[in-house]
Amino acid sequence: MNITIYDVAREAGVSMATVSRVVNGNPNVKPTTRKRVHEAIERLGYRPNAVARGLASKRTTTVGVIIPDISSIFFSELARGIEDIATMYKYNIILCNSDQNKEKEIHLINTLLEKQVDGIVFMGGEITKEHEETFKSSPVPIVLSATIDANKEFPSVNIDYEQASYDAVTAMINAGHEKIAMLSGTLADPINGYQKFAGYKRALLDAGKEVNDDYVTLGDYTHDAGVNAMKELIALEDRPTAVFASTDEMALGLIHGAQDAGYRVPEDFDIIGFDNTRLATMVRPTLTSVVQPMYDIGAVSMRLLTKFMDNETVDEQVVLLPHRVEYRQSTSFQGE
Amino acid sequence: MNITIYDVAREAGVSMATVSRVVNGNPNVKPTTRKRVHEAIERLGYRPNAVARGLASKRTTTVGVIIPDISSIFFSELARGIEDIATMYKYNIILCNSDQNKEKEIHLINTLLEKQVDGIVFMGGEITKEHEETFKSSPVPIVLSATIDANKEFPSVNIDYEQASYDAVTAMINAGHEKIAMLSGTLADPINGYQKFAGYKRALLDAGKEVNDDYVTLGDYTHDAGVNAMKELIALEDRPTAVFASTDEMALGLIHGAQDAGYRVPEDFDIIGFDNTRLATMVRPTLTSVVQPMYDIGAVSMRLLTKFMDNETVDEQVVLLPHRVEYRQSTSFQGE
DNA sequence: GTGAAAGCGCTAACAG
DNA sequence: CTGTTAGCGCTTTCAC
């Protein structure tokens, strides 16, 4: 049997209410009794039971985090941002991998709700109608992180992916490139596919160019996908001179695919990646990349969630963080 | 107010005990009543409260995971292994970053214990006396993952780091290298420092060579540490011809440091890394690395923990998983 | 096969 | 400033 608040009360010669007050830092306790209670706690080695507390207070100081894959270099950085801010606000995190599987995602939300989390940070891919219904039926706040629903009904934290892609591709155009390819994720992915591709397209159209289907390849975000995409691009009679990838890992693949075939970056191909993960400086040539502040997105998401949980007023629940292009050696040009 | 088990009982015309039995899959319920209860649950949209359940049953089906840094490519892979097996056994995970800070680690264990986790997976660096005391005072089982205490008193899952280093360095020796350097973590780190260095040393001594202090450099596991270490090594009058790094990221740094100075790998330097993270194939030349099955270490750790939590008998509580060297392009030799 | 009732350990009014 | 008293929602004997 464990030591309970009742044991401490008896040991200190006070009521359990007083012990509870002391433990919770309630100021309405005479310093002498506070001291007596603290001593009793010390003597008995009392450790408050958070589960009982959660049941009585209806707050668990625990939040749920649904993440596609914690082993991804991208998401793990986000998770770190979330966790740091959670710790700062005294919350713990229940972490769940979803593999972006819809059924799993919805199931996980329900599990987290059963565990009475005080809020949820959701990272995922496509937000379907079913997701939206689940979100709406949640008794606790949910914040989307590096994820956004089509109608922007739910709180979310992102950068403007479309604009960021537009900026990167426009920089390529300004540097004189006529034949710009893109290695994108599937268009069903609202961010890494749809939005980033949309920015690529708009940049080309704004510059009076048209989208050449041969120059648009799809990948699954792995290094190998980049290597293979570059092979295909090189095989084209009319090769592109610049390639924009929707993730850094694929961009590294592009660089290595080019090098493996005897080409050089940036002399033969200018390459720009996306996310500015730590990988960008761990390759030669170092990778020019669109900076997405992953840690910050996680941190801001969590901060936003705390506001909802504490019923603070939030002025803007759809937040867009700034982005920019970090120029390194994989592009022969270094700015607009 | 939420729907409780009591509401369901009333709706179904049974007692709460019966509802509880149905929810928990207890077979002692007549199929017809079971059906009636299920319908009531459906109709009311009842969602069991895991906190109340935890308080009453003294099991939370939640385990704590203490990890140095979830954004590390190495630990995030481990975490994924842990989470997958946890999910398989219906546990959820509370994830906490410790930054390998002793006070934080001990504080986190206590927090997790307050939250009444059913067990803990601990990843960290040095296991001090204070750690050991905390572990011993825990009412729930604790498994060390990719971490080990000096006396092997506690359950743990690892590979034999010393032997693995020995194997890698011996392969270099067998390939004819006379001057082999090592980029190690601080020796206070029992694994990435102490054990790996010990293997390096033993390999040299066994081959009748002595350890040249100039050839032993320390790094903080970052890519930059590798780049800098290589600079120093190159500056030596009597340059080494092979370098063994205790982590892949540092090994990439070594490669790039050499390339940045106009040298070539493996022509000028044979390089071997450690961990065989995904980075190993994301560099040119691709990196020869000691394979440490990170995902498996996580998975096995969690599986071991479930055994303790379920009071299964475990035959060997200090498990060592197999290791090997994966040869790639950063070494001019391809095996023993 | 089912129900009644006693907690699990704590918080939160409400008194005083 | 401190104590009393209900619960929080569920599991778990123990009867029947």
- The verdict on a CB contact (< 8 Å) between B282 and A77 is no
pLDDT average, residue stretch A179-183: 97
Q: In this structure, is the CB of residue B16 within 7 Å of any atom belonging to strand C?
A: yes
Structure tokens at B214: 């100039």
Of A188-202, A269-283, B55-69, the range with the lowest mean pLDDT is A188-202
Distances B143 to B61, B156, B189, B274 between C-alpha atoms, Å: 16, 5, 19, 23
CA distance A254 to A285: 12
Average pLDDT, chain A: 95
Domain count, chain A: 3
Q: Are residues B311 and B190 in the same domain?
A: no
Q: Are residues B87 and B167 in the same domain?
A: no
Render pLDDT for B257-274 as a digit per residue (tens, 0 to 9): 999 999 999 999 999 999
Q: Are residues B232 and B209 in the same domain?
A: yes
pLDDT average, residue stretch A57-70: 97
Q: Are residues A216 and A280 in the same domain?
A: yes
Q: In this structure, is the CB of residue B29 within 7 Å of any atom belonging to strand C?
A: yes
Nearest-neighbour CA in chain A from B18: distance (Å)? 20
Cα angle B277-A248-A213, degrees, rounded to a multiple of 5: 130
Q: Are residues B207 and B88 in the same domain?
A: no
The answer to whether residue B120 is domain-embedded is yes
CA distance A176 to A113: 53
In the block, tokens 């009904």 appear at A153
Render pLDDT for B274-318 as a digit per residue (tens, 0 to 9): 999 999 999 999 999 999 999 999 999 999 999 999 999 999 999
Q: Which of residues 9-38 of A touch strand C (CB under 7 A)?
A: 16-17, 20, 23-24
Beta bridge partners of B142: B120
- Residue whose C-alpha is closest to residue B273's, from B176, B147, B164: B164
Q: Are B294 and B78 in contact (CB under 8 A)?
A: yes
pLDDT at B184: 95
Q: Are residues B92 and B126 in the same domain?
A: yes
Asked if the model's pLDDT at residue A183 lies above 80, the reply is: yes
List the A119-122 sheet strands across, edge first: A318-321, A156-159, A142-145, A119-122, A62-67, A92-97, B92-97, B62-67, B119-122, B142-145, B156-159, B318-321
Span CA (A17) to C1' (C14), Å: 13
The answer to whether residue A327 is domain-embedded is no
pLDDT at A188: 84
Residue A288, H or E segment: strand A288-291
Distances A37 to A12, A19, A28, A316 between C-alpha atoms, Å: 5, 6, 14, 45
Model confidence at A27, pLDDT cuts 50, 70, 90, reads: confident
HEC sequence for chain B: CCCCHHHHHHHHCCCHHHHHHHHCCCCCCCHHHHHHHHHHHHHHCCCCCHHHHHHHHCCCCEEEEEECCCCCHHHHHHHHHHHHHHHHCCCEEEEEECCCCHHHHHHHHHHHHHCCCCEEEECCCCCCHHHHHHHHHCCCCEEEECCCCCCCCCCEEEECHHHHHHHHHHHHHHCCCCCEEEEECCCCCHHHHHHHHHHHHHHHHHCCCCCCHHHEEECCCCHHHHHHHHHHHHHCCCCCCEEEECCHHHHHHHHHHHHHCCCCCCCCCEEEEEECCHHHHCCCCCCEEEECCHHHHHHHHHHHHHHHHCCCCCCCCEEEECCEEECCCCCCCCCC
Give the pTM: 0.93
Residues 6+ apart with CB under 8 A from A183: A217, A218, A219, A225, A226, A229, A243, A244, A245, A246, A250, A251, A254
Model confidence at A326, pLDDT cuts 50, 70, 90, reads: very high
Q: Give contacts of B 31-90 with A, CB under 8 A.
A: 47-52, 54-55, 60, 62, 69-73, 76-77, 79-80, 83-84, 87
Nearest-neighbour CA in chain B from A32: distance (Å)? 26
Span CA (B51) to C1' (C2), Å: 25
Residues spanned by the domain of A281 = 161-292
The SS3 assignment for A169 reads: helix
The answer to whether residue A335 is domain-embedded is no
Strand B92-97 relative to strand B62-67: parallel, antiparallel, unpaired? parallel
- The verdict on a CB contact (< 8 Å) between A62 and B94 is yes
* Closest nt by CA–C1' to B58: C8
**Percentage of chain A lying above the pLDDT 90 cut:** 92
Q: Which stretches of chain A are DSSP H helices?
A: 5-12, 16-23, 31-44, 50-57, 73-88, 102-114, 129-136, 161-174, 196-206, 223-235, 248-260, 294-309
The residue of chain B with its CA nearest to that of A67 is B80
Residue with CA nearest to D2's C1' atom: A18
CB atoms within 10 A of CB A206: 12
Residue A319, H or E segment: strand A318-321
pLDDT at B101: 95
Q: What's the residue count for chain B? A: 336
The answer to whether residue B53 is domain-embedded is no
* Closest nt by CA–C1' to B29: C1
pLDDT at A1: 62
Model confidence at A2, pLDDT cuts 50, 70, 90, reads: confident
pLDDT at A334: 86
In the block, tokens 């850094």 appear at A248
Nearest-neighbour CA in chain B from A15: distance (Å)? 21
Q: Are residues A106 and A206 in the same domain?
A: no
- Is A260 an 8 Å CB contact of chain B? yes
Q: Are B230 and B254 in contact (CB under 8 A)?
A: yes
Nearest-neighbour CA in chain B from A205: distance (Å)? 34
Model confidence at A312, pLDDT cuts 50, 70, 90, reads: very high
Q: Are B97 and B127 in contact (CB under 8 A)?
A: no
CA distance A295 to A76: 9
Among the partner-chain residues A51, A76, A249, the one whose CB lies closest to the CB of B54 is A51
Q: Are residues B74 and B130 in the same domain?
A: yes
Q: Are A165 and A197 in contact (CB under 8 A)?
A: yes
Model confidence at B336, pLDDT cuts 50, 70, 90, reads: low
* Closest nt by CA–C1' to B27: C1
Model confidence at B190, pLDDT cuts 50, 70, 90, reads: confident
**Percentage of chain B lying above the pLDDT 70 cut:** 99
The answer to whether residue A55 is domain-embedded is no
Interaxial angle between packed helices A16-23 and A5-12, expressed in degrees from 0 to 180 and rounded to the nearest 10: 110
Q: In this structure, is the CB of residue B36 within 7 Å of any atom belonging to strand C?
A: no
Q: Give contacts of B 109-148 with A, CB under 8 A.
A: 110-111, 113-116, 139
- The verdict on a CB contact (< 8 Å) between A284 and B95 is no
Structure tokens at B261: 């100075």
Nearest-neighbour CA in chain B from A110: distance (Å)? 8
The answer to whether residue A153 is domain-embedded is yes
Q: Are residues A165 and A72 in the same domain?
A: no
A335 or A231, which is more confident: A231
CA distance A31 to A19: 13
Q: Are residues B121 and B237 in the same domain?
A: no
- Is A104 an 8 Å CB contact of chain B? no
The answer to whether residue B333 is domain-embedded is no
List the A324-326 sheet strands across, edge first: A216-218, A180-184, A242-245, A270-275, A288-291, A324-326
- The verdict on a CB contact (< 8 Å) between A50 and B84 is no
Asked if the model's pLDDT at residue B189 lies above 90, the reply is: no
pLDDT average, residue stretch A107-129: 96
> In chain B, which residues have their Cβ closer than 8 Å to the Cβ of A92?
94, 96, 111, 115
The answer to whether residue B57 is domain-embedded is no
In the block, tokens 């949209």 appear at B45
Render pLDDT for B88-131 as a digit per residue (tens, 0 to 9): 999 999 999 999 999 999 999 999 999 999 999 999 988 999 99
Asked if the model's pLDDT at residue A335 lies above 80, the reply is: no
pLDDT average, residue stretch B231-238: 96
For residue A32, the domain's CATH number is: 1.10.260.40
Q: In this structure, is the CB of residue B15 within 7 Å of any atom belonging to strand C?
A: yes
Q: Are B56 and B95 in contact (CB under 8 A)?
A: no
Structure tokens at A28: 């309405």
For residue B189, the domain's CATH number is: 3.40.50.2300
Q: Are residues A170 and A245 in the same domain?
A: yes
CA count, 13 A, side-chain hemisphere, A312: 10
* Closest nt by CA–C1' to A58: D8
Model confidence at B230, pLDDT cuts 50, 70, 90, reads: very high
Asked if the bond preceding B285 is cis, omega within 30° of 0, the reply is yes
Q: Are residues B34 and B183 in the same domain?
A: no
pLDDT average, residue stretch B29-44: 93
Model confidence at B133, pLDDT cuts 50, 70, 90, reads: very high
Nucleotides on chain D that have an atom closer than 7 A to a protein CB are 1-5, 7-13
Backbone angles phi, psi at B60, to 5 degrees: -105, -5
pLDDT average, residue stretch A40-51: 95
Exposed e or buried b per residue across A296-327, where buried means at least 16 C-beta atoms within 10 angstroms of its C-beta: bbbbbbbbbbbbbbeeeeeeebebeeebebeb
pLDDT at B1: 63
Q: In this structure, is the CB of residue B60 within 7 Å of any atom belonging to strand C?
A: no
Asked if the model's pLDDT at residue A336 lies above 60, the reply is: no
- Residue whose C-alpha is closest to residue B169's, from B243, B256, B238: B243
- The verdict on a CB contact (< 8 Å) between A92 and B97 is no
**Percentage of chain A lying above the pLDDT 70 cut:** 99
- The verdict on a CB contact (< 8 Å) between A50 and B259 is no
Q: Which of residues 31-70 of A touch strand C (CB under 7 A)?
A: 46, 48-49, 52-53, 55-57
CA distance B6 to A54: 19
> In chain B, which residues have their Cβ closer than 8 Å to the Cβ of A114?
47-50
Nearest-neighbour CA in chain B from A208: distance (Å)? 36
